[in-house]
Structure 1
Amino acid sequence: MIKTQNPLVRFVVDYFSRPNKNRFEIVDVLRGLAVVQMMIFHFCFLLKEFRIAFLDFSYNANWAAFRIVIVTMFLSLVGVSLKIAWERGLKRKSYYRRLAQLFFYGLALSLTTYIIAPSRTVIFGILQFIFVASILGLVFVRLVWVNLILGTVIIWLGFNYANPIFNQAGLWWIGMVTRGPVTLDYVPLFPWFGLVLIGIFIGHFVVHKPQLAPIKSWHAKDFVSQTLALTGRHSLTLYMAHVPIFFVFIYLFMT
């Protein structure tokens, strides 16, 4: 516990320190870490867009690898979370509310990018992907080893096979294109749905294996991990809010 005499800081620390027994906090922490990395990526991207920093997001392998790490963390955790929710008795109301949020946030993102950057409109980005994957994942949520095998195959196909037939706009969401769409964000089913399936596979062992009980009972105790856990619990809201905030901040800084 962090010792402090400041009442505001003490309140925040005490609030963060309350363990949530109904959640796997390790999953929240990992998701929060992915959110922080995503914020760093988007902040740097906006610096490039405003021409404050000359960063090469198109051809620099380091930025491409950083994006892959972020997306991998997010999407594998989608599978883990879906499996945990299923094993605990999927609450339909919460599930449908989450789907509705993903749908309308995805629609809002597409409309916003169409207005701001019509030549790079987001058609099937990460929000649209998670919406579709959250529905398709229910088909596979009862399976175990099949998910590992099928997920590996989907990832391999997504990175190693392409066909011009998938270049049609109506099929972009599948992937395996020979010429990808010009867009600010593109996350097709191939290869990325493979990560969701592998996440479901991992989630099965997290829930059922007694050896992994410490992971289920783990709770964040230090300020950093507690902050990451809170960030992970509100990842969708932060995803929608952080880019406009960064945009306004950079714009005011420039003016």
Structure 2
Amino acid sequence: MSPQHRSHIPTAGPAQRLQRLDALRGLAMLWMTAFHFAFDLDHAGYIHQNFYEDPVWTWQRSAIVSLFLFTAGMGQAVAVAQGQDWPRFWRRWAQVAGCALLVTLGSWFMFPRSFIYFGVLHGLAVMLIATRWLLVRRVSGAALLMAGALLVALFWLAPAALSAWASGSVIEALNSRPLNWLGLVTRKPITEDYVPLIPWLGLVLWGAAAGRWLLAHRPGWLAGGGSVPGRALAALGRWSLSYYMLHQPVLISALTAFGWLTGRG
């Protein structure tokens, strides 16, 4: 890569929290909590909704995951610009991967037939490595946007292309658990959360490109957001992984206690 190209890669000073970015992540967490609370109410029999097919819920789920992964990509752009080294990256990555394993174990106890084996944290663990590698290799923002667009397009094109041209054995292999984490599937697997690389890595790459552009051209935007609601959301976003792991046990425990107190348990 030429020195002229490198000069356009934004850099930042020592690591600091960017409040508006944290607030965006916190917004995703708050929205996710409302979604999961409704899901838990349905699971407990207090409401009756189809979370697997009703567009009201399926589109919300897609929007929440999109926002969360987009901010994850922005966060990687900021971390690289601030000089985060590989050892620190791997420590954070180990936390994400460890929590993903706990999600698998917990979901297996609750949903043994549809437990989570490649949900949002599992996908994020893989996507963080891929995005970090591309960023430290100084891949251009345009290339990140194009790669993201290709991954999103594949989500819509791959099922039809596979059905038309691939053999039955290839299709079954791609639909199987060892390979369906790629996202090249013709049917969604039976699992409570499924976040494959296609298309979701595309959202992370778009977030990385957006984060890099903002650091270069609008750095004040990421650091802004000093209102009371903004500060509250930013505080939530700073502890997103811990919050993610704790919110469902708290919600389920609260509903269980409510059912016991009201005689519905």
TM-score, structure 1 as length reference: 0.88
Question: Where does residue 240 of structure 2 map in the other structure?
Answer: 235
Question: Where does residue 69 of structure 2 map in the other structure?
Answer: 75
5+ unaligned residues in a row in structure 1: which ranges? 1-20
Distance across 2 between alignment mates of 1:174 and 1:72:
17
Q: Does 1:159 align with 2:164?
A: no
2:255 aligned residue (242, 250, 255): 250
2:152, 2:198 within 8 Å by CA — same for their partners in 1?
Answer: yes
Question: Where does residue 12 of structure 2 map in the other structure?
Answer: none
- SS across alignment from 2:80: helix
Give the Å deviation of 1:59. Answer: 1.7
Distance across 1 between alignment mates of 2:154 and 2:219:
35
Q: Does 1:208 align with 2:216?
A: yes
Question: Where does residue 6 of structure 1 map in the other structure?
Answer: none
Distance across 2 between alignment mates of 1:204 and 1:222:
25
Give the Å deviation of 1:56. Answer: 1.4
- 1:66-121 Cα deviation digits (max 9, x unpaired): 11110110111111110111011113343122111111111111011112211011
2:26, 2:237 within 8 Å by CA — same for their partners in 1?
Answer: yes
- 1:176-220 Cα deviation digits (max 9, x unpaired): 2112211110000000001111111111111111xx1331441x3
1:221 aligned residue (223, 226, 232): 226
Runs of 4+ that moved beyond 6 A: none
1:158, 1:190 within 8 Å by CA — same for their partners in 2?
Answer: yes
Question: Where does residue 165 of structure 2 map in the other structure?
Answer: none
Distance across 1 between alignment mates of 2:194 and 2:142:
28
TM-score, structure 2 as length reference: 0.84
Residue type of the alignment partner of 1:157: L
Give the Å deviation of 1:34. Answer: 0.3
- SS across alignment from 2:187: coil
Please provide the CA RMSD for this pair.
1.3
1:147 aligned residue (131, 140, 144): 144
Question: Where does residue 138 of structure 1 map in the other structure?
Answer: 132
Question: Where does residue 5 of structure 1 map in the other structure?
Answer: none
Question: Where does residue 63 of structure 1 map in the other structure?
Answer: 57
Q: Does 1:34 align with 2:28?
A: yes
Number of residue-to-residue matches in the alignment: 232
5+ unaligned residues in a row in structure 2: which ranges? 1-14, 163-170, 261-265
Give the Å deviation of 1:222. Answer: 2.5
Identical residues among aligned pairs (%): 31
Distance across 2 between alignment mates of 1:222 and 1:90:
28
1:31, 1:232 within 8 Å by CA — same for their partners in 2?
Answer: yes
- SS across alignment from 2:181: coil
1:35, 1:232 within 8 Å by CA — same for their partners in 2?
Answer: yes
Distance across 1 between alignment mates of 2:109 and 2:220:
48
- SS across alignment from 2:117: coil
Give the Å deviation of 1:237. Answer: 0.3
